[in-house]
Amino acid sequence: MSVTTMVTGLEGEKAPALQLETLLALGLDQRTAENALVNSKVTANLAAVIAEAGISGCDKSVGNLLYAVATKHPNSALVHRPALINYIVSTKIKSPAQLDAALSFLSNVGPEYLDIGKFEEACGVGVVVSIEDIHSTVAEILKENMEAILEQRYHINVGSLCGQVRKKHPWGDAKATKDEIEKRLAEILGPKTEADNVKPVKKKKEKPAKVEEKKVAVATAAPPSEEELNPYTIFPQPAENNKVHTEIFFSDGNIWRAHNTKEILEKHLIETGGKVMTRFPPEPNGYLHIGHAKAMFIDFGLAKERDGHCYLRFDDTNPEAEKKEYIDHIQEIVQWMGWEPYKVTFTSDYFQALYEHAVELIRKGLAYVDHQTGEQIKEYREKKMDSPWRNRPTEESLQLFEDMRRGLIAEGAATLRMKQDMQNDNKNMSDLIAYRIKFTPHPHAGDKWCIYPSYDYAHCMVDSFENITHSLCTLEFDIRRPSYYWLLVALGLYQPHVWEYSRLNISNTVMSKRKLNRLVTEKWVDGWDDPRLLTLAGLRRRGVSATAINSFIRGIGITRSDNSLIRVDRLEYHIREELNKTASRTMVVLHPLKVVITNLEDGKVIDLDGKKWPDAPADDASSYYKVPFSRTVYIEKTDFRLKDSKDYYGLAPGKSALLRYAFPIKCTEVIYGDNSDEIVEIRAEYDPSKTSKPKGVLHWVAEPAPGVEPLKVEIRLFEKLFLSENPAELEDWLGDLNPNSKEIVKGAYAVPSLATAVLGDKFQFERLGYFAVDTESTLEKLVFNRTVTLRDSYGKAGPK
């Protein structure tokens, strides 16, 4: 179908009808041409550019440059547009880099006299970069990077290599450069191996996991560094926040050096009293996990160490994903982790101020209302092409933005985008979305708004509004730093000091909220507080304390190193370290095997003392618990064998073992069930004088009175949730779930003193591990979760 649009020229005269076929003849693709025709301003500019060029068709490379002129040429220098078009048509300007330089030059000149010599020098007219030049420079750059090439092979960043060549030959043929680099790499490295085809992210994460273990082995013997003693020494003081934070590089060669002016910094210091101000800004769309514990340790910890303040700020810009349940959980879990917020705030508290600044951006020509779909925006970003609506009149965008606010435009039909730099290599400078339409009531702000700010738009400004001194986030936000400061510079706002640290990645689990949400909503686990998850609620339910978590976080440090995979054993080491000091000892038998003491008279019960602590003082009654010893006791099934061996210390026919805190017993008879494989009872004799000295020591539980069953409890044993160390890398990550990650033992026996155990109590069940009372436990049905085993595979420094 033919599309035709009547356009009006710059002087108001009617221009010839512009047809779709005309634009396709310029080499534009179908979608770009169709989008251009629905925007009257772009259509008018294109028609004028085609008329000035005096062509009806051209090569695609020329056509794309002419389209860029129509959408990007500065209005102040329209008098020079015909000259620029002539340079393009005559192929004196033939690359996007040259055109960007030309447009920048014309923007500075405006309507004044055009110095042709300076213009041509600025945009590389007449500069000839031969293929030989490119080949020579490529060889030079590859030689300089040879060590990295040989190490990374085909995972080397070709874009970075191209950029190094481009610095030496800014007007060279980009495609020829890339082709030559790829050709030379193939010659150097040869055919791709199987390892070369593995996604680079896998190699990056697998390799540091080994490095992390090696470092630990060395660190155990080394004295602590200053940063280990105080990890916050790396952060500057608030009064030092007048240095250049970052340089924002634009594709036209301009550079913004983001920093606070003396006046802005002085005003900030007066308002804060010079105190450190940080914020912990979770999005209330799920439960917090151990990665958030690291963020809290850094955000709250820095403020506490410097006698400052830390906000708990809910980043609630997406009303569809947020729930009051999550808000309540986050507030409660922050307190449990030992942190006290200075204030609890919401991004939505600042919706009015954010809206007013959006209007200011539009008035400054730094934002515009766009009608591209999400797919179109993605495509244009990849092609580094401006939206057809990018240069619409300011008043038009102001009116449309007001219509968006009033709910007069359909959801998805318009967005407000920041006018940043579509040709920038950093995609986070490609005109990010500032506002989108959502006809969804907000959990905190109610139904006042139907337009909501994006994270990229709101986050930096709310940091500024709250006078945050240190805006701390994980390393994946590093590439967003230019856009963070671009907005604050554009609006003349105070600029916090941004610093990124490495994410916390732990083996045999997943940390992304999206994956965690799937595990919960699809019922692969038993809720957000399932003890197998490394959510903070799950860890707490499992019996892990906030102290142990914070000790683990302090141990791994605050660094900008790569996101190496930390083995879960390292977390378990810190858990054992604390529980070894705080969990009292007691005895539970998981899988009971009945033992009848034949030489103990019927009805007799001997009350013995069990130690709650290994070094319990003899004169402190509170350090002991009562253990009844009667004619019927129970041991673990695994502590009895029919066939003895030298390396076995359990009970066997004719062999003795010591019952912990009681007496040695010797097996005298084995009672079988209906078949010879089923052992139902052991007969034994005890040594009341304790003259025998068996090597094996067994935990046990006895009937508290003749014929009375011991206290029955439910025990839940947990293993790693995933079989692989890094399941997040797997395409079928749900297929990696450990089918044996949870075992419920319903018929375990416990000593009587455990009958009063309540939520919050933690114990070491001797020879079995550390256990905590579960949230589902009642006095009628006691339930214990295994927190961690006694075995320590992390390092020799830990308790066994």
Residue 564 amino acid letter: S
Tokens of 613: 């602590």
Catalytic residue of the set 81, 417, 480, 513:
513
Q: Which helix (H) or strand (E) holds 226?
A: helix 226-229
What gap in Å lies between CA 257 and CA 255, rounded to an integer? 6
Strand partners, 796: none
Residue 110 amino acid letter: G
Strand partners, 749: 589, 712
Length of the chain: 800
Q: Report which DSSP code applies to 710.
A: P
Q: Is 513 a catalytic residue?
A: yes
Strand partners, 697: 658
Listed residue (638, 645, 692, 659) closest to 587, CA to CA: 659
3-state secondary structure of 411: coil
Tokens of 733: 């990550």
Listed residue (729, 338, 325) closest to 529, CA to CA: 325
Judge contact between 444 and 346, C-beta under 8 A. Answer: yes
Neighbours of 128 (CB within 10 A): 8
Report the half-sphere exposure of 775 (CA within 13 A, side-chain side): 11
Tokens of 693: 């000295």
Place of tokens 């051209």: 58
Listed residue (158, 203, 167) closest to 185, CA to CA: 158
Catalytic residue of the set 52, 206, 213, 283:
283
Q: Is 503 a catalytic residue?
A: yes
What gap in Å lies between CA 217 and CA 253, rounded to an integer? 48
Q: Is 283 a catalytic residue?
A: yes
What gap in Å lies between CA 241 and CA 269, rounded to an integer? 10
What gap in Å lies between CA 59 and CA 224, rounded to an integer? 66
- Strand order across the beta sheet in which 592-597 lies: 697-698, 656-659, 664-672, 679-686, 592-597, 632-636, 701-702
Per-residue exposure over 571-583, b if at least 16 CB sit within 10 Å of its own CB, e if not:
bbbbbbbbbbeeb
Tokens of 237: 């003081």
What gap in Å lies between CA 305 and CA 343, rounded to an integer? 18
Judge contact between 569 and 794, C-beta under 8 A. Answer: yes
Catalytic residue of the set 184, 503, 641, 720:
503
Residue 514, C-beta contacts closer than 8 angstroms, at least 6 positions apart: none
Report the half-sphere exposure of 40 (CA within 13 A, side-chain side): 8
- Which residues belong to the active site? 283, 503, 513
